[in-house]
Structure 1
Amino acid sequence: MENVVLIIHLLLALSLIGAVLLQRSEGGGLGMGSSGGGNGAMAGRAPGTAMGKVTWVLAIAFICTSIALTIIAAEKSAGSSVLDRIGAPTPVPEVTAPETPTEGGSLLPPAAGDTGPLTPRAD
């Protein structure tokens, strides 16, 4: 069920994008500069064109599918936590500390000219 609603949601999103891009531009940001005393959503009246009505229908359907997906996701996760879904804990491997050098050994890296094996220097 969730997949069907999700596919419908995605198709509505693409249709809504297309409907908005196909509408006639009236110029000006947020309705400024439009002649006719303001129209569309800014004046609270219904849109006058068929594309405007299609856009409103697609927007309402998009919001409905968004709410439906939210309800479906909430029902899936009700009463369970992430820890319940993990199952039995896996054993953790033991970590041992690295061996330290024997007596007299140096913890410093070898000198730049030192090419031999790592042996303590006798200074």
Structure 2
Amino acid sequence: MENVVLIVHLLLALALIVSVLLQRSEGGGLGMGGGGGAMSGRSAATALSKVTWFLAAAFIGTSIALTIVAAEKSADASVLDRLTPGGAATESTGEEAPALPGGGSLLPPSPTTGGTLTPSAD
């Protein structure tokens, strides 16, 4: 289901790009150069602009659908559970978390472990 929505989302993105590029240029930035632009009170509703609005609405719809699907997939797990060595991700598989080369840590040294947080004067 997620892959189908993602493929439709990508096709809509490409179609939206093409429809925007095919539209007539107004001449200036923010519609200041032409007759009925985005900033004027009355704009021409051509078939291409209606298609662009439809594609934009469908693109937003698929974006929301993908967000809902991703939220449902990750609702039962926390990011912190996956990062901690004793979290649910390592307990469920029975494997240990991978160690860094050389046995180091990603955390900065703390004063309790004998490390110093101040730079040395060389």
TM class by shorter chain equals: 0.5 to 0.7
**In the aligned structure 2, how far is the partner of 1:2 from the partner of 1:24?**
35
User: Taking CA–CA contacts closer than 8 Å with sequence separation of 6 or more, which of the two structures ends up with the larger relative contact order?
Assistant: 1
Gaps of 5+ in 1: 97-123
Match of 1:80 among 74, 77, 81: 77
1:91-114 Cα distance to aligned partner (Å, 9 max, x none)? 778x79xxxxxxxxxxxxxxxxxx
Gaps of 5+ in 2: 83-87, 104-122
Q: Which residue is 1:90 aligned to?
A: 96
> How many residue pairs get matched?
92
Kept in 2: contact 1:9–1:62 (CA 8 A):
yes
Alignment-mate amino acid for residue 54 of structure 2: V
**In the aligned structure 2, how far is the partner of 1:26 from the partner of 1:92?**
57
Alignment-mate amino acid for residue 42 of structure 1: M
CA RMSD of aligned residues (A): 2.6
Alignment of 1:14-53 (within 5 A): 14-35=14-35, 38-39=36-37, 41-43=38-40, 47-53=44-50
Q: Looking at CA atoms only, which structure, 1 or 2, has the larger radius of gyration?
A: 1
Kept in 2: contact 1:47–1:53 (CA 8 A):
no
1:26 deviation in Å? 1.3
User: Higher helix share goes to which structure?
Assistant: 2
SS at match of 2:24: coil
- TM-score, normalised by the number of residues in structure 2: 0.64
